Amino acid sequence: MPTPIATTVLDNGLTVQLKEIHTAPLISHWMWYRVGSRDEIPGKTGISHWVEHMQFKGTPRFPAGILDKAISRDGGIWNAFTYMDWTTYFETLPADKIGLALELEADRMVNSTFDPQEIESERKVVISEREGSENEPLFRLGEAMQVEAFQSHPYRNEVIGSIEDLHKIKREDLYQHYCSYYTPGNAILAAAGDFKAEEMLAQIKEIYKNVPPAPLPPHPAQPEPPLTSQRHVEVKGPGETTFLKIAYRAPSASYADFFPFTLLDSLLTGPSSLSMFGGGGISNKTSRLYRLLVEKELAVHVGGSLQATLDPYLYEITATIHPKQSPEAVLAAIDAEIKRLQEESISVAEITRAIKQARALFAYSSENITNQAFWLGYAEIFANYDWFINYLDQLSKVTTADLQQIAQEYLQPSRRVIGAYLPDGNQGGEA
């Protein structure tokens, strides 16, 4: 039987998810905010990620630099992540030290200072991060393809933001974004570990009793019309490696089609981890496209990416082209394999293997206390915790007919963007 989850909504709107795990004297505490690049508008792309950086610059109570030493001294770890649908902060500490994490997150929910000098210093950091990403061929190709795949939805923008916006965003923009989205009603506190739920909840209520409620913030994203024609992107730049990327619109994680799509990914390219925080690794050498492309020396690597998102996003197939081959040859081979998948029967053995691989990867991604706490909040962002609990059962219900139907519906040429990165042989400098 799954460990029961204690769910409470405090008077100020904060959702609290608690899961007792008494296997080790540890507690992992996560604070999730429903804000990411999905909530950004043109001119302010990258602002959610920048605000995340500023949350480590301190409050009057917890000045910058003190917390690193305190958490390290107590044998803990902490970090933060910003993505399309969310921003999250976590601390994993010995159970008797978790009060530090609780106090910290409650304090920086309302008291972060956003010092102007720190903002300018961090501007250089995020711009440097952006410029570093631009040296990566797959980042450049992926960004160009997102713009083609989405005409209006904010998923078209990279989480890091555009270089133009990073130069223009001001202190008041950052602070207003923080004030709007870092509110109890827009947040989920998720904790798992060695505690008694009633005692932990009482402690959380005491700490958050003076954090006032606030109006729910705007979430400007609107549904994106489906792709109706195939689109092409070509990016040239330094390097010697050619890449091919194919991006199909994929269902949101809460939609029933997501589960057979997960197995379709496993069958075609090998299983993808849904966890953004670790998750082990399973070889994709039994997948159809590995056998077709890598073993026959059309590509030196192939992989897929299906992500759990709030709105429909993308299913991506990425191939590193063999030096003696061309993107056109690899695309033709992939298309032939997809057509075979759509038209010919899928064996029971093949779907059984896909389910087994997906189950194993899912188990890896939820095996320790930090990952258990991660899933508590993560699933609530795009669905609810029942989604996590029922995930394996949903996979087991998928039939070969379901897989074929998903392939026929989603993997159509008219519903995709094809992108190629073509190296110019230059090892650096301007593309």
Over the stretch 129-168, which tens digit does the pLDDT of each residue have?
999 999 999 999 999 999 999 999 999 999 999 999 999 9
| The predicted structure's pLDDT at residue 430 | 40
Please check the confidence at residue 283 and state whether its pLDDT lies above 80: no
Tens digits of per-residue pLDDT, 249-275?
A: 999 999 999 999 999 999 999 887 777
What is the predicted pLDDT for the residue at 276?
62
- Return the residue matching tokens 């083609």: 148
What does the pLDDT read at residue 285?
87
Beta strand 243-250 pairing with 313-321:
antiparallel
Q: Tokens 């992107």, residue?
A: 233
Does the domain spanning 5-208 belong to CATH 3.30.590.20? no
Decide if pLDDT at 286 tops 50: yes
Inform me whether the pLDDT recorded for 429 exceeds 50.
no
- The one-character DSSP state at 43 is T
**Average pLDDT over all residues of the chain:** 93
- How much of the chain, in percent, has pLDDT values that exceed 70? 97
Handedness of CA 167, 169, 175, 180 (dihedral sign): negative
Say which amino acid occupies 63.
P
Strands 187-193 and 26-33 turn out to be antiparallel
> Structure pTM?
0.95
Q: Extract the tokens encoding 82.
A: 């910003």
Q: Which of 244, 249, 250, 231 is nearest to 289 (CA)?
A: 244
| pLDDT per position as a tens digit, 100-128 | 999 999 999 999 999 999 999 999 999 99
pLDDT band for 428, please (50, 70, 90 cuts).
low
Residues of the chain with CATH 3.30.830.10: 5-208, 231-423
Buried b / exposed e along 134-170 (16+ C-beta atoms within 10 A):
eeebbbbbbbbbbebbbeebbbbbbbbbbeebbeebe
When pLDDT is averaged across residues 360-388 and rounded to a whole number, the result is 90
More confident residue, 185 or 355: 185
Residue range 38-43: mean pLDDT, rounded: 96
Distance CA 350, CA 367 (A): 26
- What is the average pLDDT across 195-218? 97
Nearest CA to 247 out of 380, 382, 138 is that of: 138
On whether the CB atoms of residues 207 and 10 are closer than 8 A, the answer is: no
Which of 169, 171, 127 minimizes the C-alpha distance to 42?
Answer: 169
**Under 8 Å between Cβ of 341 and 400:** no
What does the DSSP assignment read for 306-328?
E---SS-EEEEEEEEE-TTS-HH
pLDDT at 366: 78
User: For 9-27, what is each residue's pLDDT tens digit?
Assistant: 999 999 999 999 999 999 9
Decide yes or no: CATH 3.30.830.10 for domain 231-423.
Answer: yes
CA–CA separation, 296 and 330 (whole Å): 11
Q: Is the pLDDT of residue 431 over 50?
A: no
The reported pLDDT for the residue numbered 6 is: 95
53-67, 83-97, 160-174, 265-279: range with lowest mean pLDDT = 265-279
pLDDT reported for residue 192:
97
| pLDDT per residue as tens digits for the range 209-256 | 999 999 999 999 998 999 999 999 999 999 999 999 999 999 999 999
Q: What single-letter DSSP state applies at residue 287?
A: S
CA distance 322 to 330: 9
pLDDT at 187 over 70: yes
